């Protein structure tokens, strides 16, 4: 039951069987004008689930209530979903394009739970990934259909690499189906949710989407009204497909991120292309030795003319042009393609076909070709990320050695080719132009000091910006929209690429670009452009940044969700003053440590600020411990989210790692920790 004085939006939905469903959306007083898109997103979700999974809503009424003080994003209570306002409220003046996409995704997620979670539920908490992993996959497929398939996939992979992979490498590493727990609250994790979705996506890839749909039909009809297990789900897939998935089930029980080491060989005389794939998985707590996994490995081969080659395996009679799915089961597998007339660039792990770390020694020339030509959006983006990382590594090593760093022109030329002839999908182009996160770089360049990586990344971005100044100016100008804000994926692309161009132009650190960003931040008619300009200014120690932030707060101080954006901007800045700004904001009248959204916006964001949270003096770690202790006394679910960055101390260099461990030991010495926090701290220190 939820009681309160709410505004109400009402609508109806007509199902495929011509039933009328009454829809009710309850909002906190004063926010009625920000609920219309949420209602539209709900109706889109209902229609999509009927069309894609054959699932019709079963009750005559569907209710949603949005509240501002809520630990979670949302909760799928049957017939009455409870939402955090963050995933309901939207209007052009207060919500970004990303907010609109996330609202649609989360509303879809909770609605899809009606079948994958409510009608069919879990036998026990150990089966949590059965409902959450499956429903995350369903909301991902929904987002792919509503936006851009390739971009949606790239964004999911970014989440996996920046959040789930570190979790797999940390002290709380666990299988998607945990073997034990002290508090189940601690296992609402990226592993159970996002990796769980990847595991079910692999089933879909191995079976093909059509047969997977038959498996889902069998699952929904056979287990309707029951409390089931992950074994039941796999059994449904086997029954519908006739495919044996016993080895595949190891994904439910083994923790850690598998590593695939790939080598290739081209034989010009025989016109064959051979690929050798070795799999392994590093030890995780309680699991030293891992068995080989069954996984799909999607591959394409790109020729010098920028086209996918036709693929035919040795001993197979049919060929395909584009993507071939290879099944990996052994520790080492070898596949040979025939009739390959040239030495191609391999497009590996297409569409991120398995949640693995893939190691392959690409040349920069191969990566540049894939960045320009690959037909698979993920692999095209991945090629750019690897090329950028290679160049960052070379520049960082030069800086560390006291040498004059030189930026490889192959990267600058590659970026120039992208922006000189912009592609149709501007959302994809914007992803291709952005460098890997500092957190991801630190994970893959562990031998290089964090501050040096940051210096190298900054230098390269500035070099790209200065070399391609005219091209970025044109890109910005060509994508200005002069009419009122409209949310659709095409216009999202125009705004996204325009703000990407603005980001690069501000790397010049010139007054005219500061003023351009300031004017957009203070005068744009929509939050996407205002926030994009503030983001471009955010790492610059200039007066326009301070003025823009001050005006932003003054304008939106009565909009709680926008104030949270203001908190997160300041907590994410790479300026050396950021920790002092965070300390001041903890005492700001708009900050309430008892409000989860405030805490996530300020403290969780600061914990994700790889450069400044990990200041070598350890000040960031001690600040976080102070706040965790305060929060834990009242809200253990929130305190366990805030403490997460400290648990990854083994992934840092020895100096920072020791300081992080000391901070955790300080927490461990408290005799007032909640069970939630105690479980995480004790496992992290041990």
- For residue 509, the model assigns a pLDDT of 79
Read off the pLDDT band of 480 (50, 70, 90).
very high
Angle between helices 489-505 and 426-433 (to 10 degrees): 30
Q: What are the strands of the beta sheet with 80-84, ordered from one edge?
A: 6-14, 20-28, 61-67, 80-84, 74-75
Give the pLDDT mean for 199-222: 98
How many distinct structural domains can be found in the chain? 4
Region of residue 526 (left: phi > 0; alpha: psi -120 to 50; beta: else): beta
Q: How far apart are the C-alpha atoms of 341 and 355, rounded to whole Å? A: 32
- For residue 187, the model assigns a pLDDT of 79
Q: State whether 47 and 155 are in the same domain.
A: no
Q: How far apart are the C-alpha atoms of 15 and 668, rounded to whole Å? A: 54
Give the pLDDT mean for 328-349: 98
Q: State whether 101 and 21 are in the same domain.
A: yes
pLDDT at 686 over 80: no
Q: State whether 246 and 126 are in the same domain.
A: yes
Distances (CA, A) of 296 to 345, 421, 466: 20, 34, 42
Residue 501 lies in a domain: no
- For residue 427, the model assigns a pLDDT of 97
Q: 633-646 burial by CB neighbour count: b if 16+ within 10 A, else e?
A: eebbbbbbbbbbbb
Residue numbers of the domain that contains 319: 259-361
- For residue 192, the model assigns a pLDDT of 95
| Mean confidence (pLDDT) of the chain | 96
Question: pLDDT tens for residues 128-154?
Answer: 999 999 999 999 999 999 999 999 999
Output the domain CATH number for residue 572.
1.25.50.10
Residue 493 lies in a domain: no
Please report the DSSP string for 393-420 in residue order. Answer: HHHHHHHHTT------HHHHHHHHHHHH
**In contact, 90 and 107? CB cutoff 8 Å:** no
Q: State whether 350 and 270 are in the same domain.
A: yes
Q: How far apart are the C-alpha atoms of 200 and 212, rounded to whole Å? A: 10
Q: State whether 663 and 601 are in the same domain.
A: yes
- For residue 323, the model assigns a pLDDT of 97
Last residue of a domain, one of 344, 361, 378: 361
**Stretch among 213-217, 359-363, 421-425 having the lowest mean pLDDT:** 421-425
Q: State whether 30 and 150 are in the same domain.
A: no
Read off the pLDDT band of 82 (50, 70, 90).
very high
Q: State whether 57 and 161 are in the same domain.
A: no
Output the domain CATH number for residue 171.
1.10.390.10
Q: State whether 327 and 300 are in the same domain.
A: yes
pLDDT at 264 over 90: yes
**Stretch among 1-10, 176-185, 450-459 having the lowest mean pLDDT:** 176-185
- For residue 185, the model assigns a pLDDT of 76
- For residue 79, the model assigns a pLDDT of 86
Residue 443 lies in a domain: no
Q: Looking at 537-603, which runs of residues are DSSP E strands?
A: none
Residue 375 lies in a domain: no
- For residue 3, the model assigns a pLDDT of 82
Give the pLDDT mean for 79-105: 96
Residue 577 lies in a domain: yes
Read off the pLDDT band of 186 (50, 70, 90).
confident
Question: For residue 500, what are its two tokens?
Answer: 């990407």
Has this prediction a pTM greater than 0.85? yes
Q: Is 332 helix (H, G, I), strand (E, B) or coil?
A: strand
Q: State whether 342 and 242 are in the same domain.
A: no
**In contact, 182 and 680? CB cutoff 8 Å:** no
Indicate the helix (H) or strand (E) that contains 666. helix 654-668
Output the domain CATH number for residue 308.
2.60.40.1840
- For residue 519, the model assigns a pLDDT of 98
Question: pLDDT tens for residues 625-648?
Answer: 999 999 999 999 999 999 999 999
Kindly list the catalytic residues: 110
Q: State whether 243 and 301 are in the same domain.
A: no
Output the domain CATH number for residue 59.
3.30.2010.30
Last residue of a domain, one of 361, 382, 409: 361
Read off the pLDDT band of 508 (50, 70, 90).
confident
Give the pLDDT mean for 356-371: 98
Residue 382 lies in a domain: no
Last residue of a domain, one of 226, 252, 278: 252
Q: State whether 663 and 645 are in the same domain.
A: yes
Q: State whether 244 and 318 are in the same domain.
A: no
DSSP state of 228: E
Contacts 24+ apart (CB under 8 A), 412-415: 412/463, 412/464, 412/467, 412/468, 413/368, 414/368, 414/371, 414/372, 414/384, 414/387, 415/464, 415/468
**In contact, 88 and 103? CB cutoff 8 Å:** yes
Helix, strand, coil % (nearest 5) of the chain? Answer: 55, 15, 30
Give the pLDDT mean for 595-608: 97
Query: 278 forms bridges with which residues in the sheet?
Result: 261, 332
């Amino acid at each position: 039951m939820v009681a309160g004085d709410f505004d109400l939006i009402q609508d109806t939905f007509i199902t495929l069987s011509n039933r009328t469903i009454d829809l009710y959306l309850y909002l906190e007083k004063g926010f009625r004008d920000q609920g219309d898109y949420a209602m539209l997103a709900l109706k889109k979700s209902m229609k999509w689930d009927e069309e894609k999974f054959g699932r019709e809503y079963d009750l005559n009424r569907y209710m949603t209530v949005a509240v501002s003080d809520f630990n979670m994003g949302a909760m799928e209570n049957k017939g009455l979903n409870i939402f955090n306002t963050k995933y309901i409220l939207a209007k052009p003046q207060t919500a970004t394009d990303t907010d609109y996409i996330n609202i649609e995704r989360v509303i879809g997620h909770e609605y899809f739970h009606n079948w994958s979670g409510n009608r069919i539920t879990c036998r026990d908490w150990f089966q949590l990934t059965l409902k959450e992993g499956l429903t995350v996959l369903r909301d991902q497929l929904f987002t792919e259909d509503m936006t851009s398939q390739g971009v949606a996939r790239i964004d999911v992979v970014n989440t996996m690499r920046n959040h789930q992979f570190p979790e797999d490498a940390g002290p709380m590493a666990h299988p998607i189906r945990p073997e034990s727990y002290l508090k189940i609250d601690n296992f609402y994790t990226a592993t159970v949710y996002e990796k769980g979705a990847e595991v079910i996506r692999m089933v879909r890839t191995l079976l093909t989407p059509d047969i997977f749909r038959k498996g889902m039909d069998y699952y929904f009809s056979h287990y309707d009204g029951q409390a089931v297990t992950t074994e039941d789900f796999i059994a449904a897939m086997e029954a519908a497909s006739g495919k044996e998935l016993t080895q595949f089930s190891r994904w439910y029980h083994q923790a850690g991120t598998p590593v695939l080491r790939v080598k290739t060989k081209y034989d010009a005389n025989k016109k064959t292309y051979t690929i050798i794939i070795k799999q392994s998985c590093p030890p995780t707590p309680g699991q030293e030795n891992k068995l080989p996994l069954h996984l799909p490995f999607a591959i394409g081969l790109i020729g010098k003319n920028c086209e996918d080659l036709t693929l035919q395996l040795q001993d197979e009679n049919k060929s395909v042009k584009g993507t071939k799915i290879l099944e990996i089961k052994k520790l080492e597998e070898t596949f040979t393609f025939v009739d390959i007339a040239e030495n191609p660039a391999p497009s590996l792990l297409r569409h991120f076909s398995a949640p693995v770390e893939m190691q392959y020694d690409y040349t920069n020339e191969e990566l540049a070709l894939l960045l320009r030509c690959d037909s698979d959006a993920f692999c095209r983006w991945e090629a750019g990320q690897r090329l950028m990382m290679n160049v960052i590594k070379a520049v960082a090593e030069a800086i560390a050695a006291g040498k004059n760093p030189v930026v490889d022109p192959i990267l600058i030329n590659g970026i120039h080719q992208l922006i000189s002839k912009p592609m149709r999908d501007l959302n994809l182009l914007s992803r291709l132009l952005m460098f890997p996160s500092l957190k991801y770089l630190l994970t893959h360049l562990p031998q290089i000091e964090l501050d040096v990586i940051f210096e190298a990344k900054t230098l390269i971005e500035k070099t790209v910006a200065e070399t391609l100044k005219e091209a970025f100016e044109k890109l910005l100008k060509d994508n200005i929209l002069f009419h009122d804000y409209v949310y659709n994926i095409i216009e999202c692309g125009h705004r996204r690429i325009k703000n990407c161009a603005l980001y690069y132009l501000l790397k010049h650190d010139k007054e005219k670009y500061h003023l351009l960003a300031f004017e957009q931040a203070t005068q744009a008619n929509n939050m996407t452009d205002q926030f994009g300009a503030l983001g471009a200014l955010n790492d610059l120690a200039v007066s326009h940044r301070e003025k823009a932030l001050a005006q932003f707060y003054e304008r939106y101080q009565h909009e709680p969700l926008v104030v949270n954006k203001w908190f997160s901007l300041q907590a994410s800045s790479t300026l050396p003053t950021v920790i002092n700004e965070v300390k001041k904001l903890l005492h700001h009248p708009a900050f309430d440590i008892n409000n989860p959204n405030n805490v996530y916006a300020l403290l969780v964001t600061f914990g994700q600020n790889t450069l400044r949270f990990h200041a070598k003096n350890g000040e960031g770690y001690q600040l976080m411990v102070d706040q965790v202790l305060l929060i834990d006394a009242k809200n253990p679910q929130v305190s366990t989210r805030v403490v997460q960055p400290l648990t990854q101390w083994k992934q840092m260099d020895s100096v920072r790692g020791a300081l992080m461990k000391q901070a955790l030991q300080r927490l461990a010495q408290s005799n007032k920790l909640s069970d939630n926090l105690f479980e995480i701290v004790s496992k992290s220190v041990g």
